[in-house]
Amino acid sequence: MTNAEIIELAHSNLINTYGCMPIAFARGHGAYLYDADGNRYLDFFSGLAVTSLGHGHPRVVRAIKEQAEKLTHACNVFHTEPMARLAARIGRAFGDGRVFFANSGAEANEAALKLARRWGHGNGGRFEFISTLGSFHGRTFGTLSATGQEKYHLGFQPLVPGFKLVPYDDVRAVESAIDDKTCAIMVEPIQGEGGVVTPRPDYLGRLRELCDRAKILLIVDEVQTGMGRTGRLFGYQHAGIKPDIITLAKALGGGVPIGAMVAKAELASALAPGTHGSTFGGNPIACAAALAVFDALEEDGVVANAAEVGGYLIGRLREIAKSCPNVREVRGAGMIIGVVLNHEVKPVVEACFSERLVVNGTADYVLRLLPPLVLTRAEADAGLAIIERALHNAAPGSS
Ligand SMILES: Cc1ncc(COP(=O)(O)O)c(C=O)c1O
């Protein structure tokens, strides 16, 4: 089918929740995507921080094929080797963690909220959460209630009770929001959807101290920042702290849907048999793909590349910004980068697409770059040249 035929078929049959770009991708290889008409695009988006090893990574493809030939599904009333091995791998990376598998970021966060609330009920009847303005934690009712962006709430009220929202990167606000009902704080190490908002370096550390003092849980949402995206395996590692619970999804499965909630071992008993579950959670193909992702991250130097090439991208973008009065700030870490504009980001995104560079706009004014962590310097330079032109051409007054 051609681009036009696919788009027409999609428009006639899908519920229109995404406002899609008029492109139908058919295949991918490394940092490149190909549309159904055969046009090649350089990918600085990774399907929203998912295909972090690039498209068609040999380790992931092999793992999926081999597992598909053995067993595609067994359900959680039984054990499977990929699920057991992946739980051990994630638990070890976190440090004596215990894992619940889901299928998406929202579900991983929902599991974290449920564990924390159940833990809170058993620890002094605590049930309230504190999360931050500008955050994004998912679209289920629970995670939507934790999400600090009103535009996502509109039309869905009443939300789930028991959530307090405070400004991001504001320790005092959290401190004053904590009371004897609080069971947990949920926070992103960098607010991705909110505009790649990067907090002060001591933010997570000070939240950790507050949680320790109040004897409540710190939940760090690593759905977008996890699996090497920031140049460390997990975003919280930059702060030198250990959360009580983290959540993973997106890049965990290298393109296959999977989510995971990881809790300190001593919290695991808060969820007993029958208290939570998911039919597809821990699917063998998804777990096999995730094990291949861990192999690549740990054995192929991918996380180091994210730090190195990501640092290069940020440095070059800051150079470029000097000649672009429409750029307010370049921020981020590793390969999660935001170029903050003083005008709407849409024309910059469109200009990049017209030169076949896939980028993303978020929070209206922020150009968000989420390239594959395996990006080479040459690919980085090719993308930067397009971004530089797009920024110049989109500057108000230019034409
Ligand atoms: C930080 C964060 N948490 C949760 C989610 C929700 O993940 P999913 O779309 O897989 O449900 C996202 C999605 O963008 C996210 O960025």
Q: Which atom of ligand 1 is nearest to the CA of 193?
A: 16
What CATH number did the domain enclosing 113 receive?
Answer: 3.40.640.10
**Same domain? 219 vs 359:** no
The alpha carbon of 259 and the centre of ligand 1 are apart by a number of angstroms equal to: 10
Cα distances (Å, whole numbers) of residue 218 to 57, 85, 169: 34, 26, 15
- The model's pTM is 0.98
Query: Which of the following is catalytic: 44, 136, 163, 294?
Result: 136
pLDDT at residue 268 in the model: 98
Last residue of a domain, one of 275, 299, 323: 299
pLDDT band at 399 (very low <50, low <70, confident <90, very high): low
pLDDT digits (tens, 9 = 90+) for 79-132: 999 999 999 999 999 999 999 999 999 999 999 999 999 999 999 999 999 999
Q: How many domains would you assign to the chain?
A: 2
Residue 221 among the catalytic residues:
yes
What CATH number did the domain enclosing 27 receive?
Answer: 3.90.1150.10
Residue 163 among the catalytic residues:
no
Last residue of a domain, one of 280, 299, 318: 299
Residue 399 maps to a domain: no
Residue 78 CA, distance from chain mean position: 29
pLDDT digits (tens, 9 = 90+) for 316-366: 999 999 999 999 999 999 999 999 999 999 999 999 999 999 999 999 999
The alpha carbon of 94 and the centre of ligand 1 are apart by a number of angstroms equal to: 20
pLDDT digits (tens, 9 = 90+) for 213-222: 999 999 999 9
Q: Is the CB of 249 under 6 A from ligand 1?
A: yes
The amino acid at residue 353 is: F
Last residue of a domain, one of 279, 299, 319: 299
Query: For ligand 1, atom 16, which residue shows the shortest CA distance?
Result: 224
**Same domain? 174 vs 312:** no
Q: How far apart are CA 64 and CA 61, in angstroms?
A: 5
pLDDT digits (tens, 9 = 90+) for 242-279: 999 999 999 999 999 999 999 999 999 999 999 999 99
Q: Is the CB of 222 under 6 A from ligand 1?
A: no
The alpha carbon of 137 and the centre of ligand 1 are apart by a number of angstroms equal to: 5
Q: How far apart are CA 70 and CA 145, in angstroms?
A: 40
Q: Is the CB of 192 under 6 A from ligand 1?
A: yes
**Same domain? 63 vs 190:** yes
The amino acid at residue 339 is: V
Query: Which of the following is catalytic: 43, 100, 250, 294?
Result: 250
The rounded mean pLDDT for the chain is 97
Q: Is 106 exposed, middle or buried (0-12, 13-18, 19+ CB in 10 A)?
A: buried
Query: Which structural domain range is residue 233 located in?
Result: 58-299
Residue 65 among the catalytic residues:
no
Q: How far apart are CA 116 and CA 384, in angstroms?
A: 43
**Same domain? 252 vs 174:** yes
> 117-126: long-range contacts at Cβ-Cβ below 8 A with a sequence spacing of 24 or more?
117/162, 117/183, 117/184, 118/270, 118/271, 118/275, 119/183, 119/217, 119/267, 119/270, 120/183, 120/184, 120/216, 120/217, 122/270, 123/183, 123/215, 124/180, 125/181, 126/180, 126/181, 126/182, 126/183, 126/216
